Amino acid sequence: MLLTDRVALITGAASGIGRAAARLFAREGARVLIADLDETGGRAAVAEITATGGTALFVATDVSKTADAARAVDTAVRTWGRLDILYNNAAPTRLCNERDRAVHELDEAVWDTMINVALKGVFLMAKHALPVMMKQKRGVILNTATINALVAEPGVDSYTAAKGGVIALTRSMALNYAKYGIRVNTISPGYVVTECQQDWIKDPAARAAAEALHLTRLGKPEDIAGLALFLASDQGEFMTGSNVVIDGGFTAFKSPPAAGTFFRPEA
C-alpha cells in the first residue's frame, strides 16, 4: 500500500473529490482526518471508510477561521502523533455555480466568501500544518485549484481569482519549505461531476454540451483522487511546485469563449 501509516488531513472531504480521496487514501493505508463544515456528510464518509476496515475521524471545520484550522491540525497530531499529508480541497462550489458573476455584477459578499474559503483557507490550513511537518522534516501539501485559473471562463470571476491565488501560493510554499523535506503541489481539475451537478447533468442536452468540451469524457471524483494519491505518495517525490492539470483534454483544444457553458450549461 502506498500510504501505510501516513496521516492525511483532507478538507472538503464530506463529498465530491475530497471524499473520493479520503476513501482511496484510507484504502492505501492512511489514517484520514475528514475536515468539513458538513457534519452529516463528514460522518457518513467516516462510516464508509471504517466499514471497509479503514481508519478515519471527522472534525467540523470552517477553513476560513483560524481556530478551526488550528483545531483540525491539532486533532490529527493528538490522535495519531503526526501529520504527513494536508490536502486542501475545500471550496464553496455551490456558491460558484449559483452566484459567481463577472466583476461588475459580483456581490462583494460572494467575493469575500470565495476568497476566504478557497484561498485564505489554504493559507490557514498550511500555516498550522507546516510547523508540524517542519519538525518532522517531511510532509506533503496538495492544493486543489482549477483549469479556470489557466483558461478563463465568463462569469466566474471570484472563483477564478481565488484559485489563481492558490496556484501562486503553492509555488511560493514549494520554494520556502523544500529545505524541510516538504513538497507542495496543485491539482487543477477540469469538469468533474460531483453532487453539486447532479440536477442539471441529468438533462441530456446539458450533458452533451459539457461532454463536447472534452476529448475523452466528463471527470469523476475518483479520477482526481488517483492523481492526488500519486502526488501524496513516495511515487511523486520528485514533484514539487507543480500545477498538474487533469481535465480530459479540455485545455488542449478549447479557447475561452468555447468554455462559456462550462459551469452554466443552461446559458
| Residue ranges in 66-139 assigned as alpha helix (H) | 66-80, 93-99, 108-114, 121-136
Question: Residues 10-19: pLDDT tens digits?
Answer: 999 999 999 9
- Asked if the model's pLDDT at residue 232 lies above 70, the reply is yes
The helix/strand/coil state of 182 is strand
CATH number corresponding to 7-259: 3.40.50.720
Q: How many CB atoms lie within 10 A of CB 200?
A: 15
Rounded-to-integer distance, Cα 208 and Cα 231, Å = 32
Give tens-digit pLDDT for 35-80. 999 999 999 999 999 999 999 999 999 999 999 999 999 999 999 9
Q: Which of 159, 177, 180, 191 is catalytic?
A: 159
**If you ran DSSP here, which 8-state letter would residue 219 be given?**
B
pLDDT tens digits for 185-226?
A: 999 998 888 765 656 566 777 667 677 777 777 889 999 999
More confident residue, 255 or 265: 255
Spell out the domain ranges in the chain: 7-259
47 and 23 Cβ atoms separated by less than 8 Å = no
* Predicted model pTM: 0.91
Choose among 41, 40, 2, 1: nearest CA to 18: 41
CA dist list (Å): 128 to 27, 65, 175: 26, 12, 18
Active site residue 180: no
Q: For 137-188, how does the pLDDT look when each residue is reduced to its tens digit (9 = 90+)?
A: 999 999 999 998 998 888 889 999 999 999 999 999 999 999 999 999 999 9
Residue 61 Cα to chain centre, angstroms: 15
Helices 16-27, 39-51: crossing angle, 10 deg rounding:
20
